[in-house]
Chains A and B, each alone.
Chain A
Amino acid sequence: MAADALDLARWQFGITTVYHFIFVPLTIGLSVLVAIMQTFWVRTNDKRWLKLTKFFGKLLLINFAIGVATGIVQEFQFGMNWSEYSRFVGDVFGAPLAMEALAAFFIESTFLGLWIFGWDKLPKRVHLATIWLVAFASTLSAYFILAANSWMQHPVGAVFNPENGRAEMVSLWKVVTNPTVLAAFPHTIGAAFLTAGTFVAAICAWWMVRLVRSGQGDKARDIYRPGLRLGLVTMIIAAVVVALSGHWQGQLMYSQQPMKMAAAEAQMDTASSVPMTLIAIGNLNNDPDSVRHFLQVPGLTSFLATNDFNAELPGVRDLQAQYEEKYGAGINYIPNLAVTFWSFRLMMGFAAFSGILALLALWLTRKGQVSGSIWLRRAALWALPTIFLASSAGWIFTEMGRQPWIVAPNPNPEGVDMVWQLVARGVSNQVGPSAVIISLVVFTALYGVLAVAWYKLMHRYAVGGVEDDPSDPSPDNPDNQSTDVDRPLSFAY
């Protein structure tokens, strides 16, 4: 197979997957936040929460559509571009994908339809249950797909079958309780809540500042402050979960994929008490020894990996030698260091920015206060794109750090022999570069157009603000007891 087809297929997977995952965290987190808002509405009958439910519900639906649409590509492109990978791992990897569709996607899609169109058809509590089911299923789907991805990082519960030359599952339980997924799940879901919390908080903060500055502090206090506080509390809790699970992941990475850990720090030589560099200048890929490190936190990388600030961590060069001995010489087992080093820092930096902003905004809105700070508004607007980029950077780190493997070998004592695959072996061998170029161009162009439309819609509906007096079309509402068969639907496309 041509090297070009491999590179093109990798670019395509990177573009389509990073793009898909811009929308997914917001869907996962926001569906829960909207469910919480609607729960407040149903329990208290306080119309402010209905306003917020409908306001963020619209933004959720705009976002949901593009997440679903780009998700279909995810499921099909394994077979299209990575058919040799699919043959090798299908026995194991296909199971969580099928379970995701059967257990989660059906609930998600079916009950979303009920939620959108069911305001005037279902009793209040049943209608509330539909959005909770959507939220539950979105989170559940994340578990299955993370189990699949975790298996690529750290294969378990499988053996190599020399007769047909592929990996075969021996324990579904081990695959779905892979320690890698047990750590990746809270990290990813935490990130999803951090994203959605930032989204809700930033939009409410923007509105609050705007109203306060135009002399409508009462409205700001009435509607947007509760939304803002809900977003901020979500952000704080999520940031803690993300940090703790990230530390857990660091320890797992150290034992499961030591090369990725070393690449995260671009640590060339084995050393103890490895610091964490915040800023580095130089050419990490071609001349790592000339790179100058600034702002180092002593021992932090050692701590992240082992809970011990003084621990010795293997460097990239020693690991390369080990890998050559174990898995064959003549292969570069070192990931792209510039990408891993910087994506790791961008992920943490952007997430930390959201966390700090949340603390600041909580302080500014303490004890029933509203804020008209122009700086809060600016920071909130900056946090909107950066929190999405944090997730993108995290995935770029974890996937690029896995290179050159498509299924990374499991080095642990309980590890599985021969269940690993190089990316170059996983690409479809009957799909030529021209076909991949066509699909790469088509997907990129289509996704570009959709991104513009998505942004314009989200922007339009965010600056539209909450409705002044949203209707309550529930059949439980005494105003809606009319038997008029021609009454308009509560919602129509």
Chain B
Amino acid sequence: MSHETLQIIWFVLIAVLWTGYLVLEGFDFGVGMLLPFLPKNAKERRVAINTVGPVWDGNEVWLLTAGGATFAAFPEWYATLFSGAYLALLLILVALIVRIVSFEWRGKITTVRWQAAYYWGLVLGSWVPAVLWGVAFGNLVAGMQIEPVTTTISNVDGEVTRETLQYTGSFFDLLTNGYGFALFTGVLTATVFLSHGAIFLSLKTTGDLQVRAAVFAERLAAAALVVGAVWAIWLQLMFSDKMWTWAPLVVAALALLAAAYFTRLRQEGKAFLASAVAIVAAVVLIFGALFPNVMPSNVDPAYSLTIHNASSSAYTLTMMTWVAVILTPIVLLYQGWTYWVFRKRIGVQHIPDQLPVTFDDLQPTGDNANPAR
């Protein structure tokens, strides 16, 4: 395959990995974000958390794979994006770290203080990345301040230098980029994930919580439709130079409309599918508008990072294509099986009581039955 074909394949594959991440982690972010609003008591909060309990970790690996694949296939993109969005990425990393330990550690100790701390870890750990990933994609689409910088890459036989395309703007530029488009993309992802999460909860729970989740889903799906429509048209008119990106735009809008419609009819399965399709279409719209750029420069289009000047060699891309082609279907199979194993709805009656475990409840001597499960 020609180098260019491989570059296109990897551009598409990275879009696929981000799609997997946003569709899957999108609903577990949404569930975390809804914790302060939807469940009415501690048991209901645990129901909500446990709907994503078996799957959130696997969902997150899509992000790690997208990151690793970008490093391998487009090192210049990886380097410029991650060093350029340094502080934003720091915030995301902190939020994800707190979120991960909160899932596993919250229930291990049953004191009010401990559980409250990790509860907020879950809530904030879901809100922060849900908004910031949107801002990040908004910046990519709107274009960033990217300029050539001369770098010394080696000290051998004198100086070997090269031109690299680097982000030279500031952290605050990332918030104002695209006349608010970047920030608005954060609003979009937050709204869509809230809706996606509420639909997921209405699909996976029973009882009162399910009824309330369905009401939330109906309202949030309507909000997602409005925000999504404004965002998609803004993107198409301002930042896409292609006619064909109207197609994913229309698909995304119809899917959001369908999601809103099915939540009204309380057909949760169809609503969830529609919501997932909307996210897929939005990613197609984003990557379609970018192509062949991966990080357009708003200084001069000549400085844009593209699939051509940011990619790895043809050899590396060929090898990685084999790896991805063989492994990705297997991943989809066993992840799909996990969702099948945990397909049943859960309600408060399914949540086992937490026997009290505190740091001071052990006698200093003698035998203790461990009440912790």
Tell me, yes or no, whether A231 is within 8 Å of chain B by CB: no
Residues 313-357 of B at the A interface (beta carbon under 8 Å): 313, 315-316, 319-320, 323-324, 327-328, 331, 334-335, 338, 341-342, 346-347, 349-352, 357
A368 to B311, CA, bound (A): 63
| B357 CB contacts on chain A under 8 angstroms | 460, 464
Q: Is there an interface contact between B64 and A101, defined as CB atoms closer than 8 Å?
A: yes
Is A463 located at the chain interface by the 8 A CB criterion?
Answer: yes
Contact assessment for B86 and A94 in the assembled complex, using a CB-CB cutoff below 8 Å: no
Taken together as a complex, chains A and B put the C-alpha atoms of A80 and B162 apart, in Å, by: 20
A-B contact count (CB 8 A): 318
Known: A94-B312, A106-B65, A110-B58. A489 touches B152 (CB 8 A): no
Chain A residue at smallest Cβ distance from B313:
A168
**B350-A489 in contact (CB<8A):** yes
Is B270 at the interface (CB under 8 A from chain A)?
Answer: no
Least CB separation from A87: chain B residue: B79
Q: B83 at the A/B interface (Cβ < 8 Å)?
A: yes
B residues in contact with A214, CB < 8 Å: 365-367
Q: Which of the residues B55, B56, B71, B373 comes within 8 Å of A78, measured between beta carbons? A: B71
Stretch among B45-53, B176-184, B254-262 lining the A interface? B45-53
Q: Is A297 an interface residue (CB 8 A)?
A: no
Size of the A side of the interface (Cβ < 8 Å), in residues, is: 102
8 A Cβ contacts from A89-137 to B: 89-95, 97-103, 105-107, 109-114, 116-118, 121-122
With A and B bound together, what is the CA distance between A110 and B97 in angstroms? 18
Contact A489 B351 (CB under 8 A): yes
B351 touches A87 (CB 8 A): no
At the interface, yes or no: A48 with Cβ under 8 Å from chain B?
A: no
Residues of B with C-beta under 8 A to A489 = 50, 346, 350-352
A281 sits at the interface (CB 8 A): no
CA distance A398 to B42 in the complex (A): 49
Contact in complex: B83, A428 (CB < 8 Å): yes
From known contacts A488-B351, A491-B373, infer whether A431 and B86 are also in contact, taking CB-CB under 8 Å.
Answer: yes
| A110 interface neighbour in B96, B328, B334, B346, Cβ under 8 Å | B334
Judging by beta carbons under 8 Å apart, are B350 and A95 in contact? Answer: no
- In contact, B71 and A453 (Cβ under 8 angstroms): no
Q: Is B164 an interface residue (CB 8 A)?
A: yes
Interface residues of B in 155-207 (CB under 8 A from A): 155-157, 160-162, 164, 166-168, 171
Q: How many residues of B contact A (CB 8 A)?
A: 99
Chain B positions 47-99 with a Cβ under 8 Å from a chain A Cβ: 49-50, 53-58, 60-61, 63-65, 67-76, 78-84, 86-87, 89-90, 93-94, 96-98
Q: Which of A450-474 contact B (CB under 8 A)?
A: 450, 453, 456-457, 460-461, 463-468
Q: Which label, helix, strand, loop or mixed, suits the secondary structure of the A interface?
A: helix
Chain B residues whose CB sits within 8 angstroms of the CB of A431 once the complex forms: 83, 86
Q: Determine whether the beta carbon of A72 is less than 8 Å from that of B104.
A: no
Bound complex: CA A116 to CA B107 (Å): 13
Q: Are A165 and B69 in contact (CB under 8 A)?
A: no
Tell me which of B65, B67, B71, B368 contacts A465 (CB under 8 A). B368
Asked if B100 contacts A457 (CB within 8 A), the reply is no
Cβ contact of B71, chosen from A64, A97, A170, A216, cutoff 8 A: A97
Are B101 and A429 in touch, CB under 8 angstroms? no
Could you tell me if A103 and B76 are in contact, using CB atoms closer than 8 angstroms? no
Asked if B370 is at the interface (CB within 8 A of a chain A CB), the reply is: yes
B75 touches A76 (CB 8 A): no
A168-B315, A493-B46 provided; 12 other pairs, C-beta below 8 A? A58-B108, A73-B93, A79-B67, A88-B153, A90-B79, A95-B320, A101-B65, A109-B60, A112-B57, A121-B342, A486-B350, A492-B350
Supply 20 A–B pairs (Cβ within 8 Å), ascending by A. Answer: A76-B82, A80-B90, A86-B79, A87-B76, A89-B75, A94-B70, A94-B312, A102-B323, A106-B65, A117-B53, A121-B342, A165-B154, A165-B161, A170-B315, A421-B154, A425-B154, A430-B166, A464-B372, A489-B352, A492-B53
